[in-house]
Amino acid sequence: MGFVAFAQTQIKGKITEAASGLPVIQASIYEKDRALLSTTDVQGNYSFTTNKNEISLVIYAPNYEVIELTVNITGATQLDFQLAPLTETLNAVQINARKEQIFKLKRLKDVEGTAIYAGKKTEVVLLENSTANLATNNARQIYNQVAGLNIFQNDDAGLQLNIGGRGLDPNRTANFNTRQNGYDISADVLGYPESYYSPAAEGLKEIQIIRGAASLQYGTQFGGLINFVMKEPVKDKPLEILTRNTLGSNNLYTNFTSASGTAGKWSYYTFFNYKKGDGFRPNSQFESKNVYSHIGYTFNEKTKITGELTYLRYLAQQAGGLTDVQFNNDPFQSNRERNWFKVDWLLYNLRLDHKFSENTNFSFSAFGLDASRKSVGFRSNRVSQVDPGGPRDLIVGDFNNYGFETRLVSEYTIADRDATFLIGSKYYRARNYSRQGPGSDGSGPDFEFRNDEFPNFPTQNEFDYPNRNLSFFGENILYLNEKLSVTPGVRFEYIKTESDGYFQRINTDAAGNVILNQRIEEETVNERSFVLLGLGSSYKPSNSLEFYGNISQNYRSVTFNDISTVNPAFQIDPNITDERGFTTDLGARGNYQDYFSYDVNVFGLSYEDRIGFIIQESPDGNIKVLRTNVGDAFLYGLESLVDFNLRKVLLNNNKDYNFNFFVNTSYIRSEYTRSDENGVEGKEVEFVPELNFKTGITAGYKNFLASLQYSYLSRQFTDATNSTEANQSGVIGAIPSYDILDFSASYKYKNYKLEAGINNVLNNSYFTRRATGYPGPGIIPSQDRNYYVTLEIRI
């Protein structure tokens, strides 16, 4: 196939203020529903090239009216625009409508920056006007319009995010690639992809979610990508200060204070977030401190460099897990007073963005992590057992990694048709360390090992985990005509994971006397390389309708948590191996004249050698829980979101009002299609509620906004044998169906904003998680009825 240069027409012009005639700097010129075409320079000038005869444009600048128009092109064209400033009397609802943010959820364009999203299932949560409880990162409210998400709800401060979907374990969002402004934030993308750090929702602009077929650009994982996009520096002033203070149930107090501004070519955004509270159970106090800083320097309209630093530190007492009997008697009891958890998380990033031409963008990102997680406490497979005192189980993990990612996106023509290609590479290097052994016999948050005091402690191990990953990826959008595009993609992965260390095998008799004390050295190297393929397609018969479909191969490597940590609640199969499979989507989405926004799709997920839990009976008659490759599974289902703009339907689009109603439904079926384990084949897959339903209504007048949300999830299993009867550790057993009602409201007056809400209005007792380790093991209850009040001041 030959590459044919197609005639390019230059469009240029100047954008000024309507009243003063002064240039508007950094105004954005978009092709509607497509990529950014150009931005204005310091003189207000812009230019771009196109090969089209007709083009639909959107001209946008903060604090100005948005202009939309369609231009017929017959030759080189000069297009000047005058932007009218937004009047100060406009309320927040009107401003958002002008920014086309009538709906809380939007989709990513085919190309944004140095990324391609054509043909993929994308969802973007807009937080600017969210009525969710942002102070505590309430995931149930924040992600309420993202179809099919399963959320662990056991943290009343939002210290960790636990979301999954389509049968993927929600624990610490480990089955998604989690990023902040495009760079990795989890402990170790390959060896320990758990996210102990979750960005403060009050500092977020939006959350981008690209489902399963995101593997080609962002990694190999089954879940896809979650990218937290932080707020940007304000462009029209050198300093803006915002502070938010929240009071809530159980002595909750949070403070979020940010500073932002732009001066010449420099820009910055920084915040400090503090949280403390007693928790909704005994023995569950917490304190958290989070600092984020972003600084940017714009060399010219083509080149910009940014640097970011994030630090999180929190200490939380952990109330422990419960058995089913304990939960039924009192869901908020606790018999653990000596269990603690501590996280230190330091992230850093340096990014260069350069525009080689109007059609070619380049980015380079260098990132790294220096972090640790520490847990100490009494863990028993009989969670109802009262802590007898003595030495505690101490687990320490240190994570040190760095990486580089480069991306190049360029638009071109092929056989008289538009096309866009992406090529990129990523290098990732990690050296992690874990140690497990005896902690102190005290009750406070002491994270020092006491091997000399307790040499016969039964769980002791120490390992280094050096990991290395090199990948190359590429995608190419081919526009077969004005409506149809296909996007093939490929990703090459080289992975080398190692472990070097020992574990101590210590057995005692009934009287507690040591009868075996054996140190076993282990050194393993697992080196592999493979290619993942994918294909996406999009057909847009009109501006209000798009059909999309995609399929992509997926891969998950065994983590060192899968193979080394000693846990009294279960055993690990020494022959556990990596998982493989693929994800596919087929759907329709669009926005019908702002009457309603919708996204309806069917999906399939094939899982080979899925890792999970099974229950086995040993020769001596004892029952044990084993973590192993359970078998092959297939999941399929329907996901849908419809958001109705009732203001336009019922109120003649009166922009003094805000009136939306959404319905978010996910119906999933799952089955183990092959297994060598008894009692597994034909059973349902874990963490799959057959029905996941959320609905809500938001209503407002001028600067007042209120919302009511209802959530329902049907029963789900936690092990591959679909046990409904719980065991003594509380780890195995079903998670019963539950429903939740949430209310929230906000009022804005000039530079002040007051927010308040009640979560779990009906005060239902429920749980969403059976933890296999910390903060359990056992059932981790969810929060009862609680309230919050937030005061925001902007200076």
Q: H/E element holding 728?
A: none
The answer to whether the beta carbons of residues 789 and 247 sit under 8 Å apart is yes
**Which CATH number is 229-794 given?**
2.40.170.20
- In this predicted structure, what is the pLDDT of residue 792? 97
Mean pLDDT of 424-444: 96
Least confidently predicted of 176-180, 279-283, 355-359, 660-664: 355-359
pLDDT over threshold 80, residue 736: yes
335-352 exposure pattern, b = at least 16 Cβ within 10 A, e = fewer: bbebbbbbbbbbbbbbbe
- In this predicted structure, what is the pLDDT of residue 98? 40
- pLDDT tens-digit readout, 682-702: 999 999 999 999 999 999 999
The domain locations on the chain are 9-87, 111-228, 229-794
pLDDT category at 91 given cuts 50, 70, 90 is very low
Question: Residue 674: CB partners within 8 Å, gap ≥ 6?
Answer: 631, 632, 681
Least confidently predicted of 25-29, 352-356, 716-720, 756-760: 25-29
- In this predicted structure, what is the pLDDT of residue 97? 37
SS3 22: coil
Percent of the chain past pLDDT 90, that is, above it, reads 68
pLDDT category at 635 given cuts 50, 70, 90 is very high
Identify the CA nearest to 447 among candidates 503, 372, 370, 559.
Answer: 372
- In this predicted structure, what is the pLDDT of residue 764? 97
pLDDT category at 89 given cuts 50, 70, 90 is very low
- Please name the residue that has the structure tokens 């520490």: 374
pLDDT over threshold 50, residue 5: no
- In this predicted structure, what is the pLDDT of residue 211? 86
- pLDDT tens-digit readout, 641-692: 999 999 988 998 888 899 999 999 999 999 999 999 888 999 999 999 999 9
Work out the mean pLDDT of the chain and round it to a whole number.
90
- In this predicted structure, what is the pLDDT of residue 102? 80
Mean pLDDT of 718-724: 90
pLDDT over threshold 50, residue 485: yes
The answer to whether the beta carbons of residues 475 and 217 sit under 8 Å apart is yes
Q: Give DSSP secondary structure letters for 604-650.
A: EEEEEEEEEEEEEE-TTS-EEEEEEEEEEEEEEEEEEEEEEEHHHHH
Q: If you compute the radius of gyration of the chain from its CA atoms, what whole number of angstroms results?
A: 27
Which amino acid belongs to residue 626? L
pLDDT over threshold 50, residue 775: yes
**Rounded to whole angstroms, how far apart are CA atoms 214 and 486?**
15
Question: Residue 647: CB partners within 8 Å, gap ≥ 6?
Answer: 653, 654, 655, 657, 658, 659, 660
Mean pLDDT of 703-717: 96
**Which CATH number is 9-87 given?**
2.60.40.1120
pLDDT category at 594 given cuts 50, 70, 90 is confident
pLDDT over threshold 50, residue 222: yes
The more confidently predicted of residues 543 and 477 is 477
How many CB atoms are closer than 10 A to CB 509?
9
- pLDDT tens-digit readout, 354-396: 999 989 999 999 999 999 999 999 988 789 999 999 999 999 9
The more confidently predicted of residues 181 and 519 is 181
pLDDT over threshold 50, residue 4: no
pLDDT category at 352 given cuts 50, 70, 90 is very high
**Rounded to whole angstroms, how far apart are CA atoms 179 and 175?**
13
SS3 302: coil
Mean pLDDT of 185-196: 90
- Domain 111-228 matches domain 229-794 at the CATH topology level: no
User: What superfamily would CATH give domain 111-228?
Assistant: TonB-dependent receptor, plug domain (2.170.130.10)
Mean pLDDT of 327-339: 96
Q: Could you tell me the CA-to-CA distances from 43 to 23, 25, 58, 347, 436 in Å, in that order?
A: 6, 7, 20, 37, 62
pLDDT over threshold 60, residue 236: yes
- Residue-level length of the chain: 795
As given in the structure block, the two tokens for residue 490 are: 């490929």
Please name every residue paired with 616 in a beta bridge, in sequence order, or none if there are none: 624
Q: Could you tell me the CA-to-CA distances from 499 to 366, 555, 753 in Å, in that order?
A: 26, 20, 52
**Rounded to whole angstroms, how far apart are CA atoms 144 and 207?**
12
- In this predicted structure, what is the pLDDT of residue 561? 65
Q: Where are the beta strands (DSSP E) in 439-513?
A: 459-479, 484-508
- In this predicted structure, what is the pLDDT of residue 565? 60
- In this predicted structure, what is the pLDDT of residue 620? 54
Query: Ranked by mean pLDDT, which of 23-37, 145-159, 333-347, 504-518 comes out on top?
Result: 333-347
The answer to whether the beta carbons of residues 47 and 78 sit under 8 Å apart is no
How many CB atoms are closer than 10 A to CB 491?
25
**Rounded to whole angstroms, how far apart are CA atoms 584 and 582?**
7
Mean pLDDT of 228-249: 95
- In this predicted structure, what is the pLDDT of residue 510? 64
pTM for the structure as a whole:
0.88
pLDDT category at 570 given cuts 50, 70, 90 is confident
- In this predicted structure, what is the pLDDT of residue 519? 86
pLDDT over threshold 60, residue 474: yes
As given in the structure block, the two tokens for residue 122 are: 């994308």
- pLDDT tens-digit readout, 487-518: 999 999 999 988 899 988 777 666 667 777 78
The more confidently predicted of residues 399 and 729 is 399
- pLDDT tens-digit readout, 107-126: 998 999 899 999 999 999 99
